[in-house]
Chain A
Amino acid sequence: MAAEQHTRDNGVKRRHRQEGPQKHVMIFVLSAVLTLIAFAAVAAGDVNPVFAVLLLLVMAVIQVFMQMGYWMHLKDKGHMLPIIFILGGFLIAGTCIIMALYWVWWD
């Protein structure tokens, strides 16, 4: 229906505002910076291991959420079910990881 309207209007009345690349380049730059910080922190050596683990994980999660939100359009309208199912997957994955960290080896 929408498509028919486009052709009839010859693109005069209803133009779609195309999103530009700037936003995505921004996400890329942010991802790249986070990645660089992560590598640099480890390459520099003698960081507090607990701090390093936290820092690295937080940065990875930020990066992943930004990419999924913008590059995979999860922040756009009409993505409730995809969000529910991808978070469901992350939840079960997280459960597996808790299992691996706490319940495989013990004294």
Chain B
Amino acid sequence: MTTTHAEPVHGGLPHEPEKATAEGRNKVLAFWLFLGGEAVLFGTLFATFLALRGQTNEGPSANELFHLPLVAAATFLLLVSSLTSVFAIQAMHRNRPKLLRNWLLVTVALGACFLGLEIYEFSEYVRHEEFGMTTSAFSSAFYTLVGFHGAHVAFGIVWISLLIGQLAYKGLTVVTAPKIYVSAMYWHFIDVVWVFIFTVVYLLGKVG
């Protein structure tokens, strides 16, 4: 990682290739709008979880269930992956496709580890704690909120992986750059949602 501050732009690609075309600018703007909608989507899921968090129906409660070390590990994986996707966009702005690809690969790998931890966590709950979707209103709300986030992570992993493929095939252009930029926005948003999940679901669940 170089820290040259005034690097010349190579190959005629503009400084912010994601905003070089009207299509690119439209895409970035519309993705912000979409994230506004996503905020409501997760807001409703959080609301549901908060309303039903105490309704354990004689099943396990949050305090009995959660293991903080696992959650802390998952949190740091996602936080680091958010940072690496920042590096990826910086590499893109410096027009360095190889570096960009590498940072995207790191991001995807960290995301996959996070998802692996989550699947492990869910399977532990189902197998050893008798805590499934149908156990209680709390369990339904927990699996739906955290599962929705997990599904977003899974979608992000597939999406960014495909973009890495496209990057190799098509190169870094004013067409591929907005796609990569938007996927990075999506990835940051997933991390932002996770900040609220680990705080509201896990930590406040432990506090009671």
Residues in A lying within 8 Å of B, measured CB to CB? 2-3, 6-7, 10-11, 15-22, 24-25, 28, 31-32, 35, 38-39, 42-43, 47, 49, 52-53, 56-57, 59-60, 63-64, 67-68, 71-72, 81-82, 85-86, 88-90, 92-94, 96-97, 99-101, 104-105
Contacts of B87 in A (CB 8 A): 21, 24
Q: Is the interface of A mostly helix, strand, loop or mixed?
A: helix
Asked if B207 and A20 make an inter-chain contact with CB atoms under 8 angstroms apart, the answer reads no
Instruction: Give 1 or 0 for each of B172-203: 1 = CB within 8 Å of chain A CB.
Output: 00000000000001001101100110111001
A86 to B86, CA, bound (A): 20
Q: Which residues of A contact B101 (CB under 8 A)?
A: none
**Which residues from B are CB-within-8-Å of A43?**
68
Q: Using a CB-CB cutoff of 8 Å, which residues 58-97 of chain B contact chain A? A: 68, 71-72, 75-76, 79-80, 82-83, 86-87, 90, 93-94
Bound Cα distance A35, B196 (Å): 11
Residue among B1, B32, B48, B76 with most chain A CB within 10 A: B32
Q: Give Cα distance in the complex from A81 to B86, angstroms.
A: 22
Q: Determine the residue in chain B with the shortest Cβ distance to A20.
A: B3
Interface SS of B by simple majority: helix
**The stretch of B39-47, B108-116, B117-125, B156-164 that contacts the partner chain:** B39-47
Chain B residue with the shortest CB-CB distance to A63: B195
B residues adjacent to A (C-beta < 8 A): 1, 3-9, 12-15, 20, 29, 32-33, 35-40, 42-44, 46-48, 50-51, 68, 71-72, 75-76, 79-80, 82-83, 86-87, 90, 93-94, 185, 188-189, 191-192, 195-196, 198-200, 203-204, 206-208
Instruction: Tell me, in angstroms, the Cα distance from A57 to B195 when the chains sit together.
Output: 10
Shortest Cβ distance from B202 into A: residue: A42
